[in-house]
Chains A and B, each alone.
Chain A
């Protein structure tokens, strides 16, 4: 048994600490990571709508016009629009900060960061240092669920900020909903929300929970939480699925634990411009 324990300690020593530098240090993303899209309609060809025609979810609004925007609540962050655009009017930046307190703010144009505001001070006083969340997968495909799970592993370690997923809504300060809310999960989603004591927060994670995502307008789902008007949403976290750091950024800004607009990114040095270049 002693040998077994020594093996574990030896492995641990070799393996080293795994927790990411974010938020104190830079966030490490692959070169090809697609974060917030930057939109510059000034580059569009007259009457061109190639981006919108390539988009699986009709996330590009007013294509080819000065009012062109991308709805991050619908966007799957696939390469479709950027690949289809002959002029580079839509390109994906590596800015992982995507969360917002309002649904309208997810309609982005230009190249300004999306920074969620903190909840009111009195709510923060109760929840700011220990936020317990109950996750409800309401027909989520296990993409968002997998990334939420990852946010709790030793790498992202969301619990270092007092944020944890708990087993019962009775123990929770809020719910995190993923998926388009299928008809068959509607009742269970409502019951979970009702069972969460107030003050409570509601976080919609992923394109499906925000707009129905790729399942939008399928008759057996609700187009996400906007289709369940009983449940008001406090934080929208776009993505398909959102990266664990995107989710962390949203929650930590909601709690006032992260603020400011400084973006620090580090390269991985694997794919992309060669290291040192």
Chain B
């Protein structure tokens, strides 16, 4: 990486003042160079610099070296957009405009991201704040004109028990020309609520960024705040955290494989996986009392321990559950009629994946091998490796197959580690975060890379807490997957990504 970047490890707290503040032209040149050379934007966010302008900080991931590059710049009311050159920045630039009013001049498609109130006073990027009936989706969508071209609008309230979002299709018969996704309905104002913390609500808030990724976001926060406080977590706690993270991955992957089977009408696997998913949720509840792992991860370790016999019985239960999953999922992948619906459907090319900066199974299904557990390992993954699985076709099948295979690796990890937990405590006293520090904390959640950036003020309180859910990168991947597809395959494509609405909307 260029020398005008501060390099850091995942979860390494640095002096916030040591992050170089470059002239914006130099900053943009370096960002563009790093991204076109294969780097990724893990975070790209603003904060007020106290002098009327916005301090934009980029955290660029170098996966091959396992390093993060940090650099900042001060910007005013506008700057040139990089999105045409680096599409992976398109949502980040829209977010900076919405949160701080920094207009990216020449952005190819500047439109609201989540209709959130600006984070600084006196800014109204969309000129909509005066209207009390402002809702997401109230803006001119991209339209295809022509005879027999028609538009299909879906949401925000969907047919199933699903979070809200709006999908606008431009179709010719069944054929989809384009899908535009409008989000923001789920906006709860998480980031501003975290400022001034940590306080008694902080952990519960982070656990609620996405309720299906309690451990992922909880762990990203714990790693960040522990780095700021210089707190070292006992080995037994790091392994129990790893077990919880993989149980979360198992529950979601197995549940989604069942949902995919349901979407193509293959009911045996849909029913079996629906029930089997519960075994992994219940395993979390055995450890901590909550099926989603709430209350388990705390700064300094974990709240709950298992004795040897308990861990052994839990391992046996997970092992038995996985064997049933393998049988149930084989029925699905072995069925020609099911494969006919998944193979070649919803393709995202490797090139598109790299341009958009997709993460997690959605990227690995395109043959792009990136996994925070390997590339930027923290906690138990520093000394216990979980093999990374990739596919090559980038279609619904590849996303399903990658998720199945990586769930299998997770099951192996959970069973093995439960049977050989390191001795010792699971929790250590946790002190106060140090003042004037910055830390980037990455976790490989089940959807992909979760990035949290915490910056403390002179008093050691959180001055800015930035959250990047994997869905933030991946929603555009779903839009691209639908191009040229049949609209009736949308539920299938959607579920193969299963992105988070609230993780995006914050």
Contacts and interface: CB of A to CB of B under 8 A. Distances in A.
A268 B291 contact: no
A231 interface: no
Most B C-beta atoms less than 10 A away, residue of A11, A77, A142, A240: A142
A32 interface: yes
Interface in A10-43: 11-12, 14-15, 18, 29-34
A29 B184 CA distance: 36
Contact of B160 (A53, A153, A167): A167
Given A153-B278, A271-B306, 14 more contacts: A4-B334, A4-B335, A31-B286, A34-B290, A57-B201, A78-B295, A145-B161, A145-B163, A153-B275, A182-B187, A184-B505, A185-B185, A214-B204, A272-B310
A165 B289 contact: no
B200 A135 contact: no
Interface in B205-226: 205, 208-212, 214
A182 B185 contact: yes
Interface in A221-277: 221, 240-241, 243, 268-272, 274
A215 interface: yes
B188 A271 contact: no
B287 to A, nearest CB: 7
A44 interface: no
Interface in B34-75: none
Contact of B327 (A11, A92, A136): A11
Interface residues of A, number: 76
A96 to B, nearest CB: 12
Most B C-beta atoms less than 10 A away, residue of A29, A135, A145, A183: A183
B208 A155 contact: no
A202 to B, nearest CB: 15
Nearest to A169: B157
Nearest to A219: B189
A134 B159 CA distance: 8
A168 interface: yes
Nearest to B205: A214
A2 interface: no
Interface in B143-174: 156-157, 159-164
A139 B187 contact: yes
Interface string A123-156: 0000000000011111111111111111011110
Given A148-B161, A270-B286, A141 B208 contact: yes
B187 A220 contact: yes
Most A C-beta atoms less than 10 A away, residue of B157, B159, B294: B157
B163 A140 contact: yes
A15 B324 contact: yes
Nearest to B288: A32
Nearest to A147: B291
A228 B200 CA distance: 27
B479 interface: no
5 contacts: A32-B285, A139-B185, A184-B184, A220-B116, A270-B314
B285 A33 contact: yes
Nearest to A274: B309
Given A32-B286, A141-B502, A182-B186, A153 B135 contact: no
A32 B287 contact: yes
B286 A271 contact: yes
A160 to B, nearest CB: 14
Interface in A49-100: 53-57, 76-80, 83, 92
Interface of A: 4, 7-8, 11-12, 14-15, 18, 29-34, 53-57, 76-80, 83, 92, 134-150, 152-155, 165, 167-169, 179-180, 182-185, 187-188, 192, 213-215, 218-221, 240-241, 243, 268-272, 274
Contacts of B501: 142
Contacts of A149: 160-161
Contacts, number: 203
B292 A143 contact: yes
Interface in B103-150: 114-117, 133, 135-136
B256 to A, nearest CB: 11
Nearest to B272: A15
Given A30-B285, A153-B274, A184-B184, A214 B201 contact: yes
B161 A79 contact: no
B331 A7 contact: yes
Most A C-beta atoms less than 10 A away, residue of B189, B277, B331: B189
A137 B117 CA distance: 21
A221 B291 CA distance: 26
A215 B185 contact: no
Given A167-B160, A184-B135, A139 B502 contact: yes
A61 to B, nearest CB: 16
Given A141-B211, A147-B291, A221 B188 contact: yes
Contact of B278 (A78, A150, A274): A150
Contacts of A80: 200, 295
A137 B210 CA distance: 13
B211 A143 contact: yes
A142 B201 contact: no
B88 interface: no
A188 B502 CA distance: 16
Interface string B264-294: 0000100110110110001001111111101
B313 A269 contact: yes
Contact of B133 (A34, A135, A187): A187
B302 to A, nearest CB: 11
Contacts of A134: 157
The list of the 4 closest CB pairs from A to B, nearest first, reads: A143-B211, A141-B211, A167-B159, A153-B274
Contacts of A188: 135, 156-157, 164, 185
Contact of A271 (B187, B203, B310): B310
Contacts of A139: 185-188, 502, 505
A145 B162 contact: yes
B303 interface: yes
B291 A270 contact: no
